[in-house]
Structure 1
Amino acid sequence: MYAILDIETTGGKFNEEGITEIAIYKYDGHEVVDQFISLVNPERDIQPFVVNLTGINSNMLRNAPKFYEVAKRIIEITEDTILVAHNADFDYRILCTEFRRLGYEYERPSLCTVELSKNLIPGQVSYSLGKLVRSLGIPVTDRHRASGDAIATVKLFKLLLDKDTTKSIIQKSIRLNPKKQLEPKHIDIIESLPSITGVYYIHNSEGNIIYIGKSNNIKKRINQHFTNTNHKSKRIQLHVASVTYEATGSELVALLKESEEIKRNKPIYNRALRRTVFTHALYSFKDENKYINLKIDIADGRKHPITTFSNRQSGKSFMEKAVEEYGLCQKLTGIYKTKNSCFNYDIKSCKGACIQKELPETYNQRVTQLIDKNSYKNKNMVIIDKGRDIDERSAILIENGVFKGLGFFNLNYQINNMDVLASIITPMENNRDTQHIIQSYLRRNKKVKRIVFDKI
C-alpha cells in the first residue's frame, strides 16, 4: 500500500518552513482507495515567490486547520504504507519537521519518483514533475497545488510500476528510515528501561555520564538513540555501557532536572544543546499617554521580560490570543501598525485605547491581569504537578519570583506551610533557562495547579 503525497510550503529558511497545503492519495497499486486534501494554516508568513507560484496566500489560510488539527488524519492514512513523492526527501523532511514540532517522531519508508524515473525512464530532458509528465503524455491540472501535483504523481507512479517488470528497482529504492539491527548489548539496555516520564543518563564503560536527556517515554527515546544514524547517535552507540534514569512523573520536573544536570555534569555529547533556546520575549512599557504597551522583541539579557518564547512566531501567536482573551488593543500590543485606530476598533471589538477613547486606568487593569498571569515576578507560589506514583505529586517552589527548587509529596500531606515545604524541596539554581522552562510549561498547561502564598 502506498501513500502518494504532495506538500506546498511557505518557503523560507531550511527546517523553518511550514505546510500550506497537503494532498495524500492512498494507492493500493491499482486504484486510489482513500484520500486526504487540506489547506493548512502554517502560523507563519508565506514567501512572496511562493504566493506567486502556488496562488496560496495568507487570507486563504486564515480559517484553515493548523497542522496539529490534521496530524492524526495524516498518521491514519499513511499507517502501514510507503510514502511516495516527487523529490521525496523534501516532502518527507517537511512532514517529519512538522510532527517533531508536536513532539512526535514520524517514521515511514519512502520512495522517490524522481529517482525511480531516472532508473526506469532514462534519457529524459528534465525530471521535474511538470516537464516529465507532459513528456509522458500524462495530463496535469492545478500545477503547483498539492492535489494537482499529487494526482500527477499517482499517474506517474502507476506508469513506473508498469515499467518495473522485475520489481527489483522499486524494492531497492525503498528507504527504510533509521531502523538498523540492534546489538545485543543495546537490546539488553532497552529491555531494562521503563516507558515512563523522567530524566535518563547514558554512561560509558567507566561509569562517566556522556549524555543526559529527558523524555515522556524513556524506553522509546533510548531506542531512538540506539537506532538513529546521525553523527551524535553513532558516537553514543559506540561508547554506551549502561543507562540509568530518574522517574519524575511530571514533564516540567524532567525539563528542570535535565537543564540543571546538564549544566552540572557537562556531558560530552550534550554540547550542542546546552541552553534552552528562547529567542524572543514579551516586554512592557508606558507610552506618553500612560497606556501600558506590550511588545514581542528579541530577548535581551539586560532587560527583565514578562515571559519568553522559543521564536517570534510563538510570541506572535501568544499576543494574538491575549488580544482576544483580554480585549486588548492591537495597536498597543504591536500587532497592528498604525498611527490612528486599530482594525479591531473599526469593527467595534477594541474599546479605543489606540485613540485615547478608553481611559488608561481601565485599559491598564486588563493588561496587568495578563502580566500577572504570565509572570511570576515577586510572587510566592508552589506549582503542583504529576508525581511518580498515583498517590504522589510534585512541587516546584517559587519564592519572591525566584525558582528555589522542587520536590515530591504524598497526597496525605498538605503543603501549605514553610516547614513542610522546607522538608520536601531540593534546592536548585535559578537562571534564564529555568524561567523560560517554567513559563513556557505554564502557558502550554493552563490547568496545572498553583498555590499562591502571601509570604513564604
Structure 2
Amino acid sequence: MSWICSIETTNDLTTNILTTNNIYAILDIETTGGKYNEEGITEIAIYKFDGHQVVDQFISLVNPERDIQPFVVNLTGINNNMLRNAPKFYEVAKRIVEITEDCILVAHNAQFDYRILGTEFRRLGFEFIRPSLCTVELAKDLIPDQPSYSLGKLVRSLGIPVTDRHRASGDALATVKLFKMLLDKDTSKSIIQQSIRLNAKHQLEPRHLDILEELPSVTGVYYIHNANGDIVYIGKSNNIKKRVNQHFTNTNQKSKKIQAQVSSVTYEATGSELVALLKESEEIKRIKPIFNRAMRRTVFTHALYGFFDDKGYINLKIDVADLRKNPITTFTNRESGKSFVNKVIEEYRLCQKLAGLYKTKTSCFNYDLKTCDGACIGKEPVESYNKRVEALILKNSYRNKNMVIIDRGRDIDERSAILIENGMFRGLGFFNLNYQITNIEVLESIITPMQNNRDTQHIIQSYLRKNKQVKQIYFD
C-alpha cells in the first residue's frame, strides 16, 4: 500500500493551499455509533467543490467490520446486512486520499468527521492531515440568531432542499448547498479564509474521555457537574454521548468554560425527544445552572392569532408573541410562522388575504388561480370558510382540550405519556405496553406533575407540528 504516502501533507503544502484558489472536499460520514474512537464508518460521501460547482464525487457504503448500534439503524436505515458485501475501509482509502488531496475538508461539525477519518487511517498505520472548515461555526458567524444550527433544522429554515436525511450523500449534498450560501454571504472574503484550521481542532483530555466512556448514545437530558457536584449546565439531545463530545471539543467561550469546570456528567434517558425538551425546560427553570443563563430568553418570539373581521370571517395573523393574548400556536421566529401559514393556506384552501399574507383591497392572488373560493371578496359564505379555519385551529391548538400524547419510551416495550387537561400541560410519565390506559384516573396515576407555562405550550405545539405521526388520544 505504498500509495498511502501521499497522505503526509507538509505545512508548506498546506500554506500553498491557503494562498491559491481553494478547492473543497465537502463530506459527510455515517458511523456505527458506540464507544468513543471505536466507531466504524458505514457510509461516506465526498463532493469535490471548486467554489462554483461539484467537479468530482465519491459515495460508498463501507463495511465497518463491527455491528451497528440499533439507534443508528433506526436513524439512517443502514443495517448490517446492507454492509456485508460493501468494501472495507482500506479498500476505499486510496480514493479518499485522491479526492481530498490539495483540498480543504468541509463538513457540518467538521471535528466529528475529521476525527472519524483520522481514526480509520490510524488503524491502517498512517496519519491523515488536511486543513478543515466547519459549516456549523461558519453559519454561526455568517447567519447569526438561527434557532438551531443542526444540519436538518438549519437548511430547512434557509429553504435549502434536502433528500435522504441522515444518509451520507443527502447530508453531504445539503452541506454543499449550505456552503455555497455561506461563500456568498462572506462578502469580505475573509471570514471563511480565517476559519480554516490547519489540523485537528481539539484533542480531548483524558478526564473528558473517561466521562464520555460512561455516557450512552440515547435520547435524554444530561447534567454537567463541577468538582463540588453543582450542576453548571443542563441540555437535551437525541444522542447524549455525541452532544457532550461537542461540548468537549468546541472552541467557543461557553464550551471552554464548561471544559474547564466539568468533573462529571449525569443523565436521564427519556426515549422521547418531547419528554427530553419538557424536562430540560423545567430543570433549567428550577436549577438555573450558571451556563444556561445566557440561553435563549424565550423559546419562541412569534405567534399565530385569530380574529373576526367586520364581515364575520375568521382572519389569521402572525405577530410578536404577547403574554396577554391567547395564541393558536407559537413559533421561534416570524419566518417559520409565515412558512406554516403558507402550508395551511394550501392544506385548508384558505384565502391569502384573510390569512394575513396578501395585502389587497380586492381579491387575493389565489382567487385568480381558482385555489381560493372568494372569501376575500365576500363571495364564499362565512360559515363554510370559518368551518375550515376552525378545523385548522382545532388541529394546531390544544386550547380547552383533554388529551394524552403517546410517544416513545426508554425501552422497546415502553411508551411515554404527556397529559393535557383543559388545555393545560399537567405532567408526564411512562407506562408498559401491557398496561392499558382506559380512563383519566388510570392515566393520572402514572403522571408526574410538572409546571404549565408558555414555554411548555410552545414546546408541545411545535413538536406536534413537526411530528405528525405522534399518537394523540382525546377523552372527556
In the superposition, the TM-score normalised over structure 1's length comes to 0.67
- Residue 268 (structure 1) aligned with residue 290 (structure 2): yes
Paired residue for 1:372? 394
Which residue pairs with 2:224 in the alignment? 202
Higher deviation after alignment, 248-257 or 225-234 = 225-234
1:453 and 2:464 correspond:
no
2:418 is paired with a residue whose SS is: strand
Matching residue within 317, 325, 345 for 1:295: 317
User: What is the identity, as a one-letter code, of the residue corresponding to 1:235?
Assistant: K
1:226-241 matches, cutoff 5 A: 226-241=248-263
Structure 2 gaps of 5+ residues are 1-6, 8-21, 27-46, 59-105, 118-128, 156-179, 185-192
AA in 2 matched with 1:338: T
> Structure 1 331/101 Cα, relative in aligned 2: closer, same or farther at 3 Å?
farther
- Supply the AA of the counterpart residue of 2:56: V
Does 2:376 correspond to 1:343? no
Any idea what the Cα deviations from partners look like across 1:115-149, whole Å, max 9, x if unmatched?
Answer: xxxxxxxxxxxxxxxxxxxxxxxxxxxxxxx69x9
Question: Residue 304 of structure 1: SS of its match in structure 2?
Answer: coil
Please tell me whether the aligned partners of residues 131 and 198 of structure 2 are also in contact (alpha carbons under 8 angstroms). Answer: no
Offset of residue 89 of structure 1: 8.5
Q: 2:231 & 2:247 partners in 1: Cα distance?
A: 15
Q: Deviations over 1:67-89 (max 9, x none)?
A: xxxxxxx969x97796789xx99
Describe how 1:3-402 pairs up with structure 2 within 5 A.
3-4=23-24, 25-26=48-49, 32-34=55-57, 100=150, 102=152, 175=197, 179-273=201-295, 275-402=297-424
Aligned-residue offset at 1:223? 0.8
Deviation at 1:102, TM superposition (A): 2.4
Deviations 1:197-231 (A, max 9, x none): 00000111111111100000000111111111111
Instruction: State how far apart, in whole Å, the 2-side matches of 1:350 and 1:288 are.
Output: 20
Greater shift, 244-253 or 276-285, is seen at: 276-285
How far 1:419 sits from its partner (Å)? 2.6
User: Contact conserved, 1:404 with 1:429, CA < 8 A, in 2?
Assistant: yes
- Once residues 336 and 211 of structure 1 are traced to their aligned partners in structure 2, the CA distance between those partners, rounded to angstroms, is 44
SS of the aligned residue for 2:457 comes to: helix
In structure 2, what is the equivalent of residue 121 of structure 1? none
TM-score (norm 2): 0.64
Note closer, same or farther for the CA distance 1:446–1:83 as it changes in structure 2 (3 Å cut).
Answer: farther
Of structures 1 and 2, the larger Rg is shown by 1
Q: 2:450 corresponds to which letter in structure 1?
A: M
Greater shift, 211-220 or 93-102, is seen at 93-102
The answer as to whether partners of 2:317 and 2:355 remain within 8 angstroms in 1 is: yes
Unaligned ranges ≥5, structure 1? 7-23, 36-73, 106-145, 151-169
1:178–1:227 Cα contact (<8 Å) kept: no
Write the distance in 2 (CA, Å) between the matches of 1:90 and 1:227. Answer: 16
* Alignment pair present for 1:435 and 2:457: yes
Task: Please list the CA deviations of residues 344-378 of structure 1 after superposition, one character each: whole Å capped at 9, or x if unmatched.
Answer: 11111110000011000110000000000000000
Q: Residue by residue, what CA displacement relative to the aligned partner does 1:298-343 show, whole Å, maximum 9, x if unpaired?
A: 1111111000000010000000000000000000001111000001
Summarize deviations over 1:169-213 as a string: whole Å, max 9, x none. x9x995058731211111100000000000000111111111100
- Is the Cα contact below 8 Å between 2:417 and 2:429 reproduced in 1? yes
The one of 422, 443, 453 aligned to 1:421: 443
Does the CA-based 8 Å contact 1:5-1:84 persist in structure 2?
no
Name the CA shift for 1:220/1:84 in 2 (closer, same or farther; >3 Å): closer
Is 2:132–2:197's contact at 8 Å kept on the other side of the alignment? no
- Is the contact made by 1:263 and 1:274 (CA closer than 8 Å) also made in structure 2? no
Asked if the contact 1:178/1:229 (under 8 Å) is kept, the reply is no
- 1:250 & 1:89 partners in 2: Cα distance? 28
Letter in 2 for 1:285: F
Residue 15 (structure 1) aligns with: none
Give the Cα–Cα distance (whole angstroms) in 2 for the partners of residues 453 and 178 of structure 1.
55
User: Does the C-alpha gap of structure 1 residues 274 and 33 become closer, same or farther in structure 2, counting only changes over 3 Å?
Assistant: closer
1:221-277 CA deviation, whole Å, 9 max, x = no partner? 111111111111111111111110000000000000000000000111110116442
Aligned with 1:293: secondary structure? strand
- Pairwise CA RMSD: 3.5
> What is the SS of the residue equivalent to 1:245?
strand
Q: Contact 1:275/1:433 (CA < 8 Å) preserved in 2?
A: no
Distance 1:75 1:185, change over 3 A: closer
Rounded to whole Å, the distance in 1 between the matches of 2:107 and 2:251 is 23
Contact persistence 2:300–2:458 (CA under 8 A): yes
Q: Distance in 2 between matches of 1:283 and 1:442?
A: 18
Q: 1:84 to 1:221 in 2, by over 3 A?
A: closer
C-alpha displacement at 1:411, in angstroms?
0.3
1:376–1:176 Cα change, 3 Å: farther
Find the counterpart in structure 2 of residue 20 from structure 1: none
* Kept after mapping to 1: 8 A contact 2:408/2:414: yes
Query: Within 2, Cα distance between the matches of 1:255 and 1:414?
Result: 26
- Counterpart secondary structure, 2:311: coil
Aligned to 2:16: none
